[in-house]
Amino acid sequence: MNSSVSSSHNSVLINLKIKFSKLLQQPTFLIGSVLVIILSYLVIAPIVSIFSNSVSLTMMDAMLSGGKDGEFTYKYVDRVFASSISEKIFWVPLKNSLTVSFFATLIALTLGLILASLVTSTNIFGRKYLGFLLIIPYMLPSQAMATAWLTMFKNRKISGPQGMLESFGITPPDWLAYGPLPISICMALSYFPFAFLLFSSALSKIDIQLEEVASTLGAKTKVIWSKIILPLLIPTTMSVLLLTVARTLGTFATPYILGTPAKYTLLSTSLYSSVRSNDSGVVAVIAIVLSLIGVMLLLVDIWVVRKWQRFVTVGGKGVKRQPSKLGILRTPTTLFAWVIFLIAALGPFIVLALSTLMREPGNFAFSNFGLAYWTGVNVPGMDQPGIFTSPEVITALKNSFLIAGSASVICGFLGLLIGYAVVRLPGTLISGFLRQISFLPYLMPGLAFAAAYLSLFAVSRGPIPALYGSISLLILVMVVTYLPYASRSGISAMMQVGPEPEEAGMVLGAGFWRRITSILAPLQKSALIIAIILPFITGMKELSLVVMLVTPGTELLTTQSIRFLDFGYTQLANATILIIGVVVMISVLILNRLTKTNLASGLGG
Amino acid sequence: MSEIKLKSIVKNFGGNSIAVDNLSEIFPDGEFVCLLGPSGCGKTTTLRMIAGLETPDSGEISYGEKIFFSSKNGEFIKTENRNLGLMFQSYALWPHMTVFKNIVFGLEMQKKSLDEKEKRYLELEKLFHLENFRDRYPSELSGGQQQRVALARMLAMKPNLLLLDEPLSNLDSNLRLEMRSELKRLHQSLGCTIIFVTHDQMEAMTLATSIAVMNKGKIEQIAKPMEIYNNPKSLFVAKFVGSPQMNIINSDKDENLALCLSKKLNIEKNKVKNFGARPESIKMVQQNNGDINAKIETIQPTGADWIVGLNVSGKSIFVISSEQPIGKENDTIGIDFKVEGCHSFDSNDLRIVKS
Ligand SMILES: Nc1ncnc2c1ncn2[C@@H]1O[C@H](COP(=O)(O)OP(=O)(O)OP(=O)(O)O)[C@@H](O)[C@H]1O
Ligand SMILES: [Mg+2]
């Protein structure tokens, strides 16, 4: 009896000993556990705080209606869903959001798929350049498209300088200038490059032999596309769909700029108004609703991934598909692709640039052109310094670099680390938990997340000091928000490498750090750099996440442009946006040069 | 003696199938052991456990005095410190390192000087005909060249124990032959222990000093190649080794033939579930001159010899003949069995050994 107890006790010890030695050989488990702890706090705490805010009485309301601060209440749930104002703050915005998301996603997906197919697999003219040019809209902040639209189509409904068409004597109707139509189009044009990138890389990953087999069996190109390629793209299509819907739901700039004049409110702008009016209970409830929609999307995603997992094609030989000849369709398709580039990338740039160079819109007289908005010490009619002399803009520029830069570097490394832990601990709780938790922030729109961080870090908690008004809060919130992208790309990068290279090193006597530094890191160099570039771009043009966390002194370029717009300084706003676009593009080019990787790598051509 | 000892190794990947099932075996020092078995029988898993890339659920693995792993007292030596060579089926050459860097990686781990690395590299370069490839990246090499780099990388540190997982399966048949003799020569000159996984039984027969036939996570038999061939322990081994496969004659279904074999082997037919007859142990003779008559169904010349399909009262069997068959298709001939190539198996599929 006694001996069996002690022997079972012993076997536990022995088991632990083996586990421990295994851990020394491969400390993935340790890394995973540390990540689990850090992420739990950074991700779960804000979520908990949102939930608690949604059902506890605020101090303000406690004083007004008599009750205790922090008391449990359904007041805010009521206010959002079933009060005299719920139509205005929730139901109509919900309907609007869904409408806009639906159309924007539909357009973005279609454009992305068509353009990706054309560029990777056909002989349209200029496919080499299109691969890069078509992702430029992705580098522009989402307010670029919106302000360009406004600069072009605005009418007398709102004040400020004339719209371009207006100055030519054409007055655009309200439905064209503001509201659902321009919002959907602008969002679609901002987000299609993403679909384009994903489809392109999926297309280039499909094992060409799958198609060759089909053609030896007598299938024509058309049949190969409909029976083999498109079905193989279903998983990609689903994730593009999911990502785009989620993005459009969380976008703030476009509806803020194009919806507000027509009083066309989306959930995101409604949430922002509630934040501005300090209604933290309502903010929480709306944020939860937005997040629930996100959860639904995630469930669909999980279901799809599980369902289509068998489709994951392993190890294409990396042979490029022969571009198929388009015949008479070559010219129209080429035209189509270039027109999209013109509308989505070049157009906004030109419109924005022109507006900052012309003193009066629409007047193309040579004397009307000038650099006043850029270099003037005091811009006439505005009582504001020009962009380059404005201390606010200089500070914002510095902040943008600092915040987006640090956040993206942290994100890149964190993503690979998560990828490593997830891929090397398959089937364990840690792996599943990390995968899910790093994806959670995706479900919360940036605005909601920012609201949560605002309430969470306004005061010091435990070892973490009060961060409100500091740059570190902005970095932190950015890191956590971009974690889903970082971890996803980290996971897929790690998946691609597989354990063998590392195991080969192990056999030859390389310890853990050695394996990481001389085998894994070089193998993942390009993945890492891409994992840094992408969040950097996003960070430089991030608005919704930071718009309510910034304080004077921590303004970013994006928020500064919104301030300018709020004051009616359209040209200054446009100039700031141009700076963002240029900075982003230059950074991309520099990094490309440095690393010889290319955002468009994996595209045809 | 540095022999590899596996003691009651169990490995289960979860789910109900056991990858390695209570495996106990000793691989003697200096042997060239081939692990032979059908796909999924646990060969790779066994190898990875010896290398320390996988931990057994229970059991003990030792190499000479060193205990690599023991679930009894929790001993576990890290892969890094086992000092063995492992070659992957995919070669796992590091794509970001040149041939030189790949090969001297292990020496670098031991902080060897530049001179030593250079010297060893030159030796290996010569041994594996890798001159001119020093600064190339793996993607710029052919399959056979990559293979040789992988071999060189494995051998750079002169390990005493080499583990190879189907290293030749990606090669064309010429290169495969060449690499086979290369490996054999290496084994003879280095005197190291090699465990070699394959499911190509030709490879196993030609290379190994002993063959371990695996089935469903267990080693069915381990012995010298000819011993395995001539005295298979079980029906599985008998069927798995040899090409064309041994003819299996069920004593209930193929009664005539079974009766004939039981007489020939001098064993009671009802003790035997199956008889086996190697194709080359069957001799074709004139009709009515042999143990039994058969009709020729097919004749396939292979160049060196002929594979003849025969029908003996409804049962199809294959015969290998080094001489031109005496009849043509649809002719009836007689066949003679040679006792050495004929076996009988009991109801547990074990070979019946005559006293
Ligand atoms: N990492 C793993 N997770 C789950 N099951 C595994 C894993 N590795 C192997 N198995 C299972 O264990 C069994 C033995 O696999 P193993 O790779 O050792 O076979 P093998 O004999 O090398 O086969 P092959 O000749 O095809 O390479 C198989 O049923 C396989 O499905
Ligand atoms: Mg295997």
The minimal CB distance from A500 to the residues B14, B92, B110 is found for B92
Please tell me the total count of domains within chain A.
1
Q: A556 pairs with which residues across the strands?
A: none
The pLDDT of A267-274, averaged and rounded, is 90
Q: B315 pairs with which residues across the strands?
A: B312
The whole-number pLDDT of residue A90 equals 93
Contact yes or no for B74 and A500 at CB 8 A: no
Contact yes or no for B79 and A25 at CB 8 A: yes
Q: What is the pLDDT of residues B71-124, one digit of tens each?
A: 888 888 888 888 888 888 888 888 888 999 999 988 888 888 999 999 999 999
The whole-number pLDDT of residue A603 equals 30
Judge contact between A100 and A549, C-beta under 8 A: no
- Report, as ranges of residue numbers, the positions in chain B whose pLDDT lies below 50: none
Which residue intervals of chain B bear CATH 2.40.50.140? 247-345
Q: What is the pLDDT of residues A322-339, one digit of tens each?
A: 777 777 888 899 999 999
The whole-number pLDDT of residue B197 equals 93
- The 10 Å CB-count burial string (b at 16+, else e) for A56-84 is bbbeebbeeeeeeeeeebebbbebbeebe
Superfamily in which the B4-239 domain is placed by CATH: P-loop containing nucleotide triphosphate hydrolases (3.40.50.300)
Give the number of other Cβ atoms within 10 Å of residue B166's Cβ: 20
Which residue intervals of chain B bear CATH 3.40.50.300? 4-239
Cα distance between residue A261 and residue A112, in whole Å: 30
Q: B335 pairs with which residues across the strands?
A: B284, B292
Q: For position A438, which CATH number holds?
A: 1.10.3720.10
The whole-number pLDDT of residue B221 equals 94
Contact yes or no for A508 and B105 at CB 8 A: yes
Residue A375 has pLDDT above 60, yes or no: yes
B165 CA to middle of ligand 2, Å?
7
Residue A601 has pLDDT above 60, yes or no: no
Q: Which two tokens stand for residue B179?
A: 């690499």
Cα distance between residue A279 and residue A200, in whole Å: 44
More confident residue, A231 or A581: A581
Report residue A243 CA to chain centroid gap: 9
Residue closest via CA to ligand 1's atom 26 equals B39
The pLDDT of A113-127, averaged and rounded, is 89
Strands (E), chain B: 4-12, 18-27, 32-36, 58-63, 66-70, 85-87, 161-165, 193-198, 210-215, 218-223, 247-250, 274-277, 282-285, 292-301, 306-312, 315-321, 332-337, 342-345
The whole-number pLDDT of residue A602 equals 33
Q: Searching chain A, which residue's CA lies closest to the CA of residue B72? A: A14
- Those residues whose beta carbon sits under 5 angstroms from the ion ligand 2 are B 44
- The 10 Å CB-count burial string (b at 16+, else e) for A93-124 is bbebbbebbebbbebbbebbbbbbbbbbbbbb
Contact yes or no for B95 and A25 at CB 8 A: no
Q: pLDDT band for position A236 (50/70/90)?
A: confident
Q: Which two tokens stand for residue A1?
A: 């009896």
Contact yes or no for B76 and A22 at CB 8 A: yes
Judge contact between A142 and A541, C-beta under 8 A: yes
Judge contact between A470 and A554, C-beta under 8 A: yes
B71 CA to middle of ligand 2, Å?
24
The minimal CB distance from B55 to the residues A22, A24, A509 is found for A22
Residues of A with CB under 8 A from a CB of B: 13-18, 21-22, 24-25, 427, 499-501, 503-511, 514, 518-519, 522-523, 525
Q: Which range has the worst mean pLDDT, A11-20, A317-326, A559-568, B292-301?
A: A317-326
Closest-CA residue to A206 (of A316, A119, A113, A309): A316
Q: Which protein residues touch ligand 1 with a CB less than 6 Å away?
A: B 13, 17, 19, 37, 39-45, 199
Interface check B86 vs A, CB under 8 A:
yes
Estimate the crossing angle of helix B143-155 against helix B99-109, to 10 degrees: 20
Closest-CA residue to A508 (of B131, B163, B138, B301): B163
Residue type, A112: G
Structure letter (DSSP) for residue A379: B
Cα distance between residue B324 and residue A11, in whole Å: 67
Average pLDDT, chain A: 83
B20 CA to middle of ligand 2, Å?
13
Does any domain span residue A480?
yes
Residue type, A576: T
Cα distance between residue B186 and residue B179, in whole Å: 10
- In sequence order, the 6+-apart residues with CB closer than 8 A to the CB of B294 are B310, B311, B312, B317, B332, B333, B334, B335
The minimal CB distance from A18 to the residues B55, B83, B94 is found for B55
Residue ranges of alpha helices (H) inside chain B are 43-51, 99-109, 114-127, 143-155, 173-190, 201-207, 225-230, 235-240, 255-265
ipTM above 0.90, yes or no: no
Judge contact between B164 and B195, C-beta under 8 A: yes
The whole-number pLDDT of residue A452 equals 82
- The 10 Å CB-count burial string (b at 16+, else e) for A227-252 is ebbeebbebbbbbbbbbbbbbbbbbb
CA distance to A541, B30, B136, per residue, from B148 (Å): 51, 22, 14
Residue A587 has pLDDT above 70, yes or no: yes
pTM of the model: 0.73
Cα atoms in the Cβ-side hemisphere of radius 13 Å centred on B308: 29
Residue type, A229: I
Does any domain span residue A512?
yes
Give the number of other Cβ atoms within 10 Å of residue A353's Cβ: 15
Residue closest via CA to ligand 1's atom 1 equals B13
The minimal CB distance from A507 to the residues B71, B86, B93 is found for B86
Does any domain span residue A91?
no
Residue ranges of alpha helices (H) inside B208-343 are 225-230, 235-240, 255-265
Cα distance between residue A94 and residue A88, in whole Å: 10
A506 CA to middle of ligand 1, Å?
21
Domain that includes residue A445, residue range: 26-49+381-605
Q: Searching chain A, which residue's CA lies closest to the CA of residue B82? A: A507
Q: How far is A315 from chain B (nearest CA, A)?
A: 12
Interface check B110 vs A, CB under 8 A:
yes
Residue A319 has pLDDT above 60, yes or no: no
Structure letter (DSSP) for residue A477: H
A contacts of B92 (beta carbons < 8 Å): 500-501, 503-504
Does any domain span residue A590?
yes
Closest-CA residue to A196 (of A124, A140, A123, A114): A114
B44 CA to middle of ligand 2, Å?
4
Contact yes or no for A507 and B79 at CB 8 A: yes
Atom of ligand 1 nearest to the CA of B54: 1
Q: What is the pLDDT of residues A176-227, one digit of tens each?
A: 889 999 999 999 999 999 899 888 888 877 766 667 666 676 677 777 777 7
Does any domain span residue A414?
yes
Cα distance between residue A444 and residue A434, in whole Å: 17
Cα distance between residue B320 and residue B243, in whole Å: 10
Residue A503 has pLDDT above 70, yes or no: yes
For an interface test with B, the pick among A13, A319, A508, A524 (most B C-beta atoms closer than 10 Å) comes out as A508
Does any domain span residue A295?
no
Q: ∠ at Cα A193 (A224, A475), nearest 5°?
A: 135
The minimal CB distance from A18 to the residues B74, B81, B157 is found for B74
The whole-number pLDDT of residue B164 equals 92
The pLDDT of A310-316, averaged and rounded, is 51
We find that the CATH architecture of domain B247-345 is Beta Barrel (2.40)
Contact yes or no for B105 and A506 at CB 8 A: no
The pLDDT of A509-532, averaged and rounded, is 84
